[in-house]
Every structure is written in C-alpha cells, then in structure tokens.
Amino acid sequence: MGDADPDENEGHSPHLVFLVTEDWFFVSHFLPMARAAREMGLRVTVITRVRDHAAAISAIGARVVPMQAERRSLNPLAVAATLRALRRILCRERADILHCVALRSIVLGSLAAPRGTPVVHALTGLGFLGARADAVGRAARAGLRHFLRIVADGPAARFLFENEDDARMLGFDPGDPGKVAIVGGAGVDPAAFPAASPEPSPSLRIAVVARMLWSKGIDLAVEAVGRARAAGADVTLSLYGAPDPSNPRAVPEITLREWGARPGIAWHGATRDVPAVWQAHDVACLPSRGGEGLPRTLLEAGASARAIVTTDVPGCRRLVRDGIEGLVVPPDDAGALADAFIFLANNRDAVSRMGQAARARVEGGYTERHVMETVKSLYGELLGQRT
C-alpha cells in the first residue's frame, strides 16, 4: 500500500505509536520503520522529547506528541511523574500497536500502556548492561531478564533485537518467530553512500564516526594509532562526533581537544555529511567495549565500501567477519588494534578487497528495505492477532 494522508480515514486506519526518548535518535535510526508503517496505511504517532527534529518526523506523515523525560534521571518522583504523563497520553492515543524503542522506553511503556495493548519492544543494544562483565553487570542483566519476562512479556508482546547475542543474553531464543525478530540495525540506504575509492594517499586514513563515548573505545583508537605510528606505520586518525551531555560515559571536550592536538590525529566534532567522510578515508574503525545493537556507523561505512576494524562484541561481530569485511580484534586491547592498523597500512590490496566485501554484506541483508519488510511482517502479525 502506498503512503496515505495522515488525516485520511483517521478513525479507521490502525494506529501505530512509537515511544522513544529523543527525537534525534528516532530520526537517525527509526524513520524506515515509520515509513514501513505508512506503506501499510497505518496512522503513525511518535511520543518523544522534542528537540530539533520534529519536522523530519512530520515530513513522513507521522504526528509528534512531545513528552519530557530526562534520560539520566533516576529520581523516583521524576520517574513517577513521567509514568503518569505517559499513561495519560497512551490512554488518549489508543494505540493498536505500541512500539517501544530502547530500554528506558521499554520499561516506561510496559508500565504505562493500557492492558492488552500489543507491544513491540525494540532492544537497540544493552549499553553498559551488555558491556560490563562484573557482578554489577551480571546482576543488572538478571534483573532485566526478570522484568522482560514478568512485566513486559505477554501474548501480544514481540521483541525486536539487532543481534542474536542480545536475545540469548536476555533469555530469548533468536530463532523463535512467534516472539523474536532480528533486524539489521537501523538499516541503511546504499544509494546514499557512494562506494567510489578515495583519492590515493601514502597514509592509511582511518576514521571513527560515533558519539564520543568511552564505551565506544575512542581512547583505544587514539592509543592504537599512536602505537602504530611509533612502529613506523603511516596511519592517521580522524574523529567525527560530539560528546553526549545526557550520557555519563561522554568523553570530555577538553580530552577530545588534547587528542586532536597529537600527531596524526584530528577531532572534527559532529558531521552532517557522513558519506563525504567515508569518501575521504580508507578504513572505518569502531573499537567498542560492548553494549551495541548493530552500530549504524558500521552499516554506513560498509555501504561506502570501506574496510572495517572493530571489536569482538555483540552487534559489531554480527556484521563484520574477521578477514572478510575487515578485522575483528578483542575489546579493550589497544595493542591488537594497533596491529590491525599496521597490517592494513602494509596491505592496501586487502583494504580494497575488504571494502568491497563490506558493501556486498550490507546489500545482502542490512538495508533499510530489509528492515522495513521485517517490521511490516511483525506489525501485520500483531494487527491480525488483535483482529
């Protein structure tokens, strides 16, 4: 079905409601899912904290309902107030499907949704819950498993994961089509990312495009490039991204500026032209410490036919196979990361070959259209069940 006017058949079209903490996050990752719902003729509403991206959401025919909720706040009074406000909104919206995006929205939506509402719980990565291997991490994951099974689960609940590891970690069978769906992250439009080779350069030009968080391993990339250059490898590193002030794991700006002053390293801040970044670089890097779903930056780099260096953590290792689309190294190991950079600097044919394999990998199952078809099937199943 083609796109429908948002006011057409207002009282008859099924209503899909997204719950997501930030409008920028929805625009950067979930517009394809909203477009898929519009193709099905569904009315779409997005409940979110509105910053600067409401117009981009409205442009695809979705309504935006503002809701204030600070991601970092654990104040019980603030959480209770958020729940009361969300409960009022959801009772008014009367969703035929509620699609909760990321962990905080899953918790809030599970507690606030009217009884019997079909719900899609989209786990976009486990953050520190997935990255921490200590007792705190294990206890937190056990608590989350209990919550999902006791509170969030039910006959009309479905769980959407971006990698199989997260599903297993939380006690779900990734092969259970009646409960679980796996999508290739946010998906990517390969047509938006030209796969042309960059201009030749004697240096191996490496880029990290990500939020500047310690959990992304930005410090590891900086250290590894320093080691590789000290060993005689001609490598440079460009960092593209800004600290996230709402995230306690943000790298301070003063640290980023200090790194950017080191030889062979530049911090450029956030970029609005990611395709141009990959056009100017040879290799993509994301040395994540874990907690990823399936990083969009790797999808965009792969679509641009760039070799990828990443770590052996859930999500990253789902897309990148060691020696095929790039190199996969142990997490939190700057020495292994430096060795990967040195290898690629001395094997430029491998860089080109891995880049072409990465493009084929993305085209084979990680495009926006792949994601859209998966969620259309999921929405159709839930709507049929409710009927």
- Give tens-digit pLDDT for 220-237: 999 999 999 999 999 999
Q: Computed over its alpha carbons, how large is the radius of gyration of the chain?
A: 21
Cβ atoms of 272 and 258 within 8 Å: the answer is no
Q: Name residue 307's beta-bridge partners.
A: 283
Report the run of H or E that residue 268 belongs to, with start and end: strand 265-269
Confidence (pLDDT) at 152: 82
The pair of structure tokens assigned to 51 is 């910053």
Q: How far apart are CA 136 and CA 49, in angstroms?
A: 30
How distant, in Å, are the alpha carbons of 40, 223, 295 from that of 239?
Answer: 40, 13, 16
Confidence (pLDDT) at 9: 41
Confidence (pLDDT) at 153: 83
Confidence (pLDDT) at 4: 39
Q: Which top CATH class is 15-186+367-386?
A: alpha beta
How many percent of the chain have pLDDT more than 90? Answer: 78
Q: Which of 61-75, 127-141, 196-210 has the highest mean pLDDT?
A: 196-210
Q: Tokens 């001395």 appear where?
A: 346
How many percent of the chain have pLDDT more than 70? Answer: 94
Band (249; pLDDT cuts 50, 70, 90): confident
Whether residue 370 is predicted with pLDDT greater than 80 in this model: the reply is yes
Q: Is 147 exposed, middle or buried (0-12, 13-18, 19+ CB in 10 A)?
A: middle
Confidence (pLDDT) at 352: 97
Band (385; pLDDT cuts 50, 70, 90): confident
Cβ atoms of 308 and 295 within 8 Å: the answer is no
Q: Residue 52 CB: number of other CB atoms within 10 A?
A: 9
Confidence (pLDDT) at 1: 34
Q: How far apart are CA 332 and CA 100, in angstroms?
A: 31
Any residues with CB less than 8 A from the CB of 319 and at least 6 apart, and which? 184, 185, 294, 298, 299, 302, 308, 325, 361, 362, 366
Give the pLDDT mean for 25-32.
93
Domain ranges in the chain are 15-186+367-386, 190-363
Whether residue 8 is predicted with pLDDT greater than 90 in this model: the reply is no
H helix intervals, the chain: 23-29, 31-39, 54-58, 76-93, 102-112, 128-131, 135-147, 164-169, 218-230, 253-260, 274-279, 296-303, 316-319, 334-345, 348-363, 368-386
3-state secondary structure of 115: coil
Q: Is 279 exposed, middle or buried (0-12, 13-18, 19+ CB in 10 A)?
A: middle
Give the pLDDT mean for 5-33.
82
Whether residue 383 is predicted with pLDDT greater than 50 in this model: the reply is yes
Whether residue 321 is predicted with pLDDT greater than 90 in this model: the reply is yes
Q: Name residue 237's beta-bridge partners.
A: 206, 265
CATH of domain 190-363: 3.40.50.2000
Cβ atoms of 119 and 157 within 8 Å: the answer is yes
Confidence (pLDDT) at 134: 74
Specify the range with the lowest mean pLDDT, choosing from 1-10, 188-197, 330-339. 1-10
Average pLDDT, the chain: 91
Confidence (pLDDT) at 6: 42
Whether residue 270 is predicted with pLDDT greater than 90 in this model: the reply is yes
Confidence (pLDDT) at 149: 84
Q: Which of 141-150, 173-182, 280-289 has the highest mean pLDDT?
A: 280-289
Q: How far apart are CA 270 and CA 292, in angstroms?
A: 20
Q: How far apart are CA 274 and CA 192, in angstroms?
A: 10
Band (5; pLDDT cuts 50, 70, 90): very low
Band (143; pLDDT cuts 50, 70, 90): confident
Confidence (pLDDT) at 71: 53
Cβ atoms of 70 and 79 within 8 Å: the answer is no
Give the pLDDT mean for 323-347.
98
Across 218-242, b (16+ Cβ under 10 Å) vs e yields bbbbbbbbbbbbeeebebbbbbbbb
Report which of residues 226 and 155 the model is more confident about. Answer: 226
Give the pLDDT mean for 338-351.
98
Confidence (pLDDT) at 69: 64
Whether residue 339 is predicted with pLDDT greater than 50 in this model: the reply is yes
Q: Name residue 267's beta-bridge partners.
A: 239
- What does the angle CA 231 – CA 232 – CA 237 come to, to the nearest 5 degrees? 90
Whether residue 317 is predicted with pLDDT greater than 70 in this model: the reply is yes
pLDDT tens, residue by residue, 68-120: 765 555 567 788 888 999 999 999 999 999 999 999 999 999 999 999 999 99
Strand ranges of the sheet holding 180-182, from the earlier edge strand across to the other edge:
63-66, 43-49, 15-22, 97-101, 119-123, 157-161, 180-182
